Amino acid sequence: MALWKLNPMDFTKMNPTRQAKIKAAPAKPLPATNSYVPNQIANALHPKVQYLKVVKIEEEACNAKRYYLAPNEEKGTKALAWFSAGQYLSITLKIGSMALTRPYSLASSPRESLEGIYMLTIQKVEGGLASQFIHDNWQIGTEVTASEPLGNFTYEPLRDATTVVAVVGGSSITPFRALAMAIADGDEDCDLTILYGSRTLEDTIFQKDLKELEANCARIKLVNIFSHEEREGHEHGFITAELIKKYAPKGAFSLFVCGPQVMRKFVDKEIETLGLRKKFIRNELFGEYFGPAKEADYPENVAPAFKVTVRIAGTEQTITAPSDVSLLRSLEAAGIAAPAHCRSGECGWCHSKLVSGDIYTPKSVDGRREADLLYGYIHPCCSFPLSDLVIEVPPVAK
Amino acid sequence: MDKHFDVIVVGAGNGGLAAAANTAKAGLKTLLLEKHNIPGGCATSFRRGRFEFEPSLHELCSVGTADKPDLVYKVFDDLGAKPNWCYETGHLFRAIVKGENGYDVRLEAGIEDFCNSVDAAVPGSKASVRKFVDLKPKIDAAIDYIYATKGNPNGLVMLLKHSDFMRTAGHSVEQVMTACGIPEKAQNIICTYWGYLGVPTDELNAMHFLNMLYGYMVDGAAMPKHRSHELSLSLIDVIQKHGGEVWYNSEVTQFLYNDDGSVAGVVANEEKLYSKEVISNVIPHNVFNMSQLDKIPEQNLKLANAREFGISVVTIYLGLDCTAEELGLEDYTVFIMGHPNPRVQHDTRAEDGLYIVNCLNNVIPDSSPEGTCTLFFTMPIFGHDVPKDLKPQDYKKYKNDLAKKYIEDAEKVLGISIMPHIEEISVATPVTFARYLGTPEGTIYGYKLSGWDNLMARIAGEKADYAIPGLNFCGGHYIRGDGYSCAYIMGDTVAKKVVKRLKGGA
């Protein structure tokens, strides 16, 4: 065989061959995208929005309430998206003229979502705008708009040790109720020891459920640590390195840490002394970042408030933004609906362009990509103004 | 607010970005609509813990340098976009075939070195490989001639002066390589790249493959320093600097047409937006499903029905708490194959066909924090390879089982220990691409570059294939198929035609 033996005239046959192939094809409408298996699974796992309805409400300890949510079929949600224990829903709330979102961890078992039930447990926080609103307004029948399940605070068998030690304070227990149930259901394959810090037994959310899970599943262990009372058979004080060592297995374990900023300040220092590899420490900030002025690298003499010009999809308006409040909160306070999910710097859903001006982002919650820094992009949920600004924010998808 | 634009670009993938940057820079009132909150489509990045992962790019061909710019470098540079280009120095790739007739070879960049490295693996093959590679300048001369005749070349001139072009462009890679006398093993080694175009080399057009191969040989492989997100943001910057609008979270749900059948605009976020021309980075299948059926020319609908979807991928992203050196991996790109033949690799893709392991730190050492490195696995599979009975609740297990299988195989083949170092892991499948791209079957390669639907035949059919006035296409589903370089080049080309039409001079 030699090159000259290939017939060059074959080249002239290509187009007629193609035309014949096209001519022979039907001129019928194309299949819908959702007729293909990968698209079906993608849509089931990641619906753009989930329309839900409150179907049951129960009182919990510590000023918390359980809200059971089911699909709102009239609005088009026929089934709930499956989730991994540890994920959250971003709930959209309309409070007066404000449109805002809040992330709440799913506290129910993933299995229950197949039966059409999600459960969120929401603690009423003093001065907490969203939690107050929910406690005051959500009733049986209330319509709730939620995102798909989100977040990466999940057990990953190829990454994590076979034992998870949860370090958790107060109402941040929600993702671990889900994880314990998923283990009991056989949907997650790991052992779980929960080190649960609360004020008193009475202030302990899910105590009965967790005790039951512990009793019925050998893979689950609960350790209560009460800061404000001493009780026989329970630990007293705070979650220290010593306490973690006491209950952690001898071999490898993954530490899953979840709690509000105030608890994390103490616990993170304790954990540091354990000298664990980074891969064995998983973190979830429960609640938003607040109070940038306390950071060592926060500049001095920052004015109390600035003018922020906000551009959204061809519109423009100017608002006033206090320097100690995140830009996202200032947008919401001004009645501007801005995209947001995790509200703690990680998910990047609020990714926006800083056209001009300076902002401060605390290092601990700076989840931006490298190129974002080169081209002036910010996450408004963790950005605090240091000057007058012009920002370009994406609209919330309709 | 004015809802009228000169050009609306639908989708901020690589093609759409290059297109919108061109029309905005030319002074046309441009609106780029993107359904996600960030640009790029596949060309983006995502963070897990202290790692920032590259989701899709292996390497760009035909980039070149400031001193010796090639097509892609010029597209960016002419627009004023300045990404930090990095280059893979040393060899192009390492190819490992497992089993008895296996081999483990490294191919070098540069024409002479490339041919020498094939010869080292298959002694005596150099002249034949050179013969194949030397067809490239002949192809270029023929294409120059075809362009000079505005697509109407004289048949006799073609046959007398450009017969080798006709031979190359009219046959498969395998046919032309065999005709050049390249031994089978050497063919297999060179054809390792088939996965980048998604079609095995007994079906893939020889000219198409040679163009890509040449692009890698001559320029080496290139990539941006800060993951593909940097490429995408650099083009967004151009668009906005020239007064173009970019709206995120703005999914187009409908295409609007005039009575005469020409495109009038689109609907996004429940708002009608009008333009003189539309450039769609969205695949024709989806565009047609968002259009009134009677506006789609019959020939275009038939073509869409005739086509198969291109390949998708399973990808595994690993952040490891050890360096590449500690891991014992010095290559950037390693192809690992269960069999030497591309067709067999293709047909056994779901079991043991072909996968690629990339370690970005071997090109960009600080692409992850000190003391760490990242690995990126890619297995080409079709969307229809995803099990039909896979339930959403079993999907996580499906992903982890795949990841475990490939990581363990790579550990064995490469003789390294990966599993104990996994600090972050993420796995993507055609489901993931269906979710983010919205393409049917989660295809990332648009339509399959099948034997009958190859590059040359697509070029010949262009006018008839895209017959809706004012509606232009670019992206992986377009003429040149997928790949970053192709998408940028075609976005650039299509936009320049639009600019010519709207600003006159054509």
Cβ pair B185, B118 in contact under 8 A: no
User: Is a pLDDT exceeding 90 seen at residue B228?
Assistant: yes
Nearest to A10 among B170, B232, B442 (CB): B170
Is the pLDDT reported for residue A304 higher than 90?
yes
Residue of chain A whose Cα is closest to the Cα of B161: A8
Identify the architecture of domain A293-392 in CATH. Roll (3.10)
Residues 6+ apart with CB under 8 A from B151: none
What is the rounded distance in angstroms from the CA atom of residue B287 to the CA atom of residue B297? 13
> If contacts are CB pairs under 8 Å, which of residues 156-215 in chain B contact chain A?
159, 163-164, 166-167, 169-171, 175-176, 178-181
Length of chain A: 398
User: A313 to chain B: which residues are within 8 Å by CB?
Assistant: 247, 250, 269
How far from the centroid of its chain's Cα atoms is residue A166's Cα? 17
Above 50 in pLDDT, residue A392? Answer: yes
Percent of chain B with pLDDT over 90: 90
Q: Please state which of the four CATH numbers 3.40.640.10, 3.10.180.10, 3.40.50.80, 3.40.1080.20 is assigned to the domain occupying A163-285.
A: 3.40.50.80
Does the distance separating the beta carbons of B250 and A313 come in below 8 Å?
yes
Separation CA B58–CA B129 (nearest Å): 25
Burial degree of A125 (CB within 10 A; 0-12, 13-18, 19+) = middle
Which residues from A are below 8 Å from B176, CB to CB? 3, 6
First to last CA, chain B: 32
Give how far B505 is from chain A: nearest CA, Å: 31
Q: Per-residue pLDDT for A398 more than 90? A: no
Nearest residue of A to residue B316, measured between CA atoms: A158
On chain B, the residues whose CB falls within 8 A of the CB of A45 are: 392, 395, 431, 435
Question: Residue B5: which of B234, B232, B249, B268 has the closest Cα?
Answer: B268
Reduced DSSP (H G I as helix, E B as strand, rest coil) percent helix, strand, coil of chain B, to 5: 45, 20, 35
Strand A384-385 relative to strand B252-257: parallel, antiparallel, unpaired? unpaired
pLDDT single digits (tens) A3-55: 888 999 999 999 999 999 999 999 999 999 999 999 999 999 999 999 999 99
- Per-residue model confidence (pLDDT) at position A155: 98
The residue of chain A with its CA nearest to that of B301 is: A27
Residue A274 forms contact with B (CB below 8 Å) = no
> Residue B283: is it exposed, middle or buried by C-beta count within 10 angstroms (0-12/13-18/19+)?
buried
Mean pLDDT within A323-327: 97
Interface of A with B in 12-71 (CB under 8 A): 12-15, 17-19, 21-33, 36-39, 41-46
- Contact between A397 and B251 using a beta-carbon 8 Å cutoff: yes
Give B120-168 pLDDT, tens digit per residue.
Answer: 999 999 999 999 999 999 999 999 998 899 888 999 999 999 999 999 9
> Shortest CB distance from A371 goes to which of B227, B247, B304?
B227
Task: Please give the mean pLDDT across all residues of chain B.
Answer: 95
Q: Residues of A with CB below 8 A from B440's CB? A: 31, 33, 36, 39
B400 → chain A, closest CA residue: A158
Residues B251-278, mean pLDDT to the nearest whole number? 97
Contact A159/B38, CB-based, under 8 Å?
no
Q: Which of A4-13, A234-243, B273-282 has the lowest mean pLDDT?
A: A4-13
d(CA B194, CA A300): 58
Residue B147: φ, ψ to 5°: -60, -40
- Residues 330-389 in B contacting A (C-alpha not used; CB under 8 Å): 383-384, 386-388
Contact map slice: B 272-331 vs A, CB within 8 A = 285-286, 288-289, 293, 298-299, 301-306, 312, 321
**CA of residue A24 relative to chain centroid, distance:** 51
CB of A209 within 8 Å of a chain B CB? The answer is no
Confidence at B352, pLDDT banded by 50, 70, 90: confident
What is the rounded distance in angstroms from the CA atom of residue A253 to the CA atom of residue A211? Answer: 22
DSSP B98: -
pLDDT at B342 (0 to 100): 97
**Strand order, beta sheet including A254-259:** A235-236, A220-226, A191-198, A163-169, A254-259, A281-285
What's the predicted TM-score (pTM) here? 0.96
Chain B residues touching residue A44 (CB < 8 angstroms):
392
- The reported pLDDT for the residue numbered A4 is 85
**May I ask the CATH architecture of the domain B4-48+69-76+225-307+449-503?**
3-Layer(bba) Sandwich (3.50)
Give A336 to chain B, closest Cα distance, Å: 15
Q: How far apart are the first and last CA of chain A?
A: 62
Surface of B (405-444) touching A: CB under 8 A: 407, 419, 421-425, 429-435, 438-442
What percentage of chain A exceeds 90 in pLDDT? 92
Of A11, A31, A44, the CB nearest to B392: A44
Give B269's pLDDT tier (boundaries 50, 70, 90). very high
Determine, for residues B181 and A2 on separate chains, whether the beta-carbon distance falls below 8 Å. Answer: yes
User: Domain spanning A44-146 has what CATH number?
Assistant: 2.40.30.10
Which residues numbered 92-151 in B keep a CB inside 8 Å of some CB on A? 131
Please report which confidence band the pLDDT of residue B88 belongs to, taking 50, 70 and 90 as the band edges: confident
User: Cβ–Cβ of B440/A396 closer than 8 Å?
Assistant: no
Chain B residues closer than 8 Å to A370 by CB: 45, 52, 226-227, 229-230
Residues 315-334, chain A, touching B (beta carbon < 8 A): 315
Residue with tokens 């959204």: A312
Q: Return the number of CB contacts < 8 Å for A and B.
A: 248
Query: Whole-angstrom Cα distance, residue A228 to residue A213?
Result: 25
pLDDT tens profile B284-316? 999 999 999 999 999 999 999 999 999 999 999
- B506: pLDDT strictly greater than 70: no
Q: How near does any CA of chain B get to the CA of A341, in Å?
A: 12
Find the helix packing angle between B71-79 and B484-503, rounded to 10°: 50
Helix axes B430-437, A37-45, angle to 10 degrees: 70
Q: Which residues of B touch A159 (CB under 8 A)?
A: 422-425
**pLDDT, mean of residues B263-281:** 97
**Contact B251/A346, CB-based, under 8 Å?**
no
Length of chain B: 506
Predicted confidence at residue B1, as pLDDT, reads 55
Comparing CB atoms, the residue among A1, A8, A14 nearest residue B456 is A14
Chain B interface includes A363 (CB < 8 A): no
What is the distance in angstroms between the Cα of A188 and the nearest Cα belonging to chain B? 10
